[in-house]
Copies of this chain bind each other. A is one copy, B any other.
């Protein structure tokens, strides 16, 4: 999990960019905007699956990309062959030096619609260019962390293990999906390289093919038990779970594991009626004196099926969750966007807005900051406040909240602490941030999620967490909307 190893995984992905980033960059260059400073915000508008919050993830990989951003001779030649770019612009790319300021919320932070999750300030050519990779990196990992956390909340005290590599959308989706799943609360993964890269425990024992290779099931179990007596977990559904799989497992536990001084680790059921089979298998294991034998289930699981199994009292210890986690099957798009919010003119910040007939789609203008207000009583998060960048929040006086979509809905917060959520990541292109380990990220995430009201965490119609604008930002936004409506 060293930076060295992670860096060895990085390829030159500078050309992984929407082509319009390049046509615009060249256009900016040709228009003399080489040094024009612009501000962009990355934010999202809707929590997947109708949930009450999302979890930010992917920052460490975004940092790796930004820190290494450069254009190879091959890239320049390729662009020249398109005959759309000026030699001056190609020279600019050849001598590219990243000069942006970047702020972002920590990985693992619960995040909410419309608040800035990443903020970039820098030369428009650069701040614009990084859009595609910034979005795909944060969108992907935030999607998987958010989905996994739903599944983990459904499983309660029971362990969730990420089993999805084979159904992931390519290698990165498997590798960084495993990372995001761990941040979201999975305890382990089947994806070996995720342990090598990030220290996430990789686990697994046998597939049906192991059982099929042998002439009969019991012989396959025996061979496995002899190879792994300390960690003997047997897959019992290749032929018939209750008639053959579990009886054979019990026999092999008795004959090969117990005599060697070990206890069986567990059995895994990968098909069939999981509630019924797990209950019957548990009875058989208990009757054989293996009350401590764990039951692992895997078979197209998600948060709804897991809840249903637990409601039925299925005696399951761990859930292996694959395709529905690693693709966020029920809602596979995290719709993060990256919008220009301001430009600088003679050193002054000029806010910009994107208006829309849909009021929820109007952007928040200006260079901004983000605060989370926690109650000094129960320590719960009360609301997030998006402010202009130079504003502070004075917690010694009551703070007036109002809903940006329904500004007549007001309330007052007292006895709170305001914590800024955006951390400085790059300063004038220089990395000034140390990414925490995935263990630390997960710990922080758990702690932060524990401070959300339960009403925000429920699956069905969760309460909408308050994301408010400061009065100054609200006034600025209104004046810009007014200006554009009158044109």
The chain A residues found within 8 Å of chain B, CB to CB, are 5, 8-9, 11-13, 15-24, 26-28, 30-31, 33, 36, 38, 40, 74-75, 78, 84, 124, 128, 131-133, 135-137, 139-140, 143-144, 163, 165-177, 190-193, 195-196, 202-210, 212-213, 216, 223-224, 227-228, 231, 238-240, 244, 271-272, 323-324, 327-329, 332-336, 338-340, 343, 352-358, 361, 484, 487
User: Which 10 A-B residue pairings sit nearest by Cβ, starting from the closest?
Assistant: A170-B172, A20-B204, A19-B204, A15-B193, A135-B166, A209-B340, A169-B173, A169-B169, A332-B332, A327-B332
Given contacts A208-B354, A239-B487, A327-B333, contact A213 B16 (CB under 8 A): no
- Asked whether A227 lies within 8 Å of B27 as measured between CB atoms, the reply is yes
Contact B227 A166 (CB under 8 A): no
In the complex, what distance in Å separates the CA atom of A13 from the CA atom of B209? 23
* Residues in B neighbouring A169, C-beta threshold 8 A: 140, 143-144, 168-170, 172-173, 177, 327, 332
Q: Which residues of B are found within 8 Å of A171, using beta-carbon distances?
A: 13, 16, 133, 136-137, 170, 172
Residues of B contacting A170 in the complex (Cβ-Cβ under 8 angstroms): 136-137, 140, 169-173, 175-177
**Could you say which residues of chain B place their CB within 8 Å of the CB of A132?**
165-166, 174
Contact B78 A196 (CB under 8 A): yes
CA of A15 to CA of B171, assembled, Å:
11
Contact (Cβ within 8 A) A131 B27: no
A-B contacts, 25 of them at CB < 8 A, read: A5-B74, A13-B171, A15-B193, A15-B196, A19-B202, A19-B204, A20-B206, A21-B204, A23-B228, A28-B213, A33-B213, A38-B209, A75-B196, A136-B170, A136-B174, A140-B168, A140-B169, A170-B177, A208-B340, A238-B355, A239-B484, A271-B358, A271-B361, A327-B327, A329-B333
A20 proximity list for chain B (CB < 8 A)? 190, 204-207
Task: Name the B residues within 8 Å of A231 (CB-CB).
Answer: 84
Cross-chain contact B22 with A192 (CB below 8 angstroms): yes
Report the minimal beta-carbon distance from A364 to chain B, rounded to whole angstroms.
13
Question: Separation in Å of the A282 CB from the closest CB of chain B?
Answer: 20
Most B CB within 10 A of own CB, among A8, A168, A357: A168
Of B13, B204, B212, the contact of A340 (CB 8 Å cutoff): B212
A335 touches B352 (CB 8 A): no
Q: Pick from A17, A28, A170, A487 the residue with the most CB of B within 10 Å.
A: A170
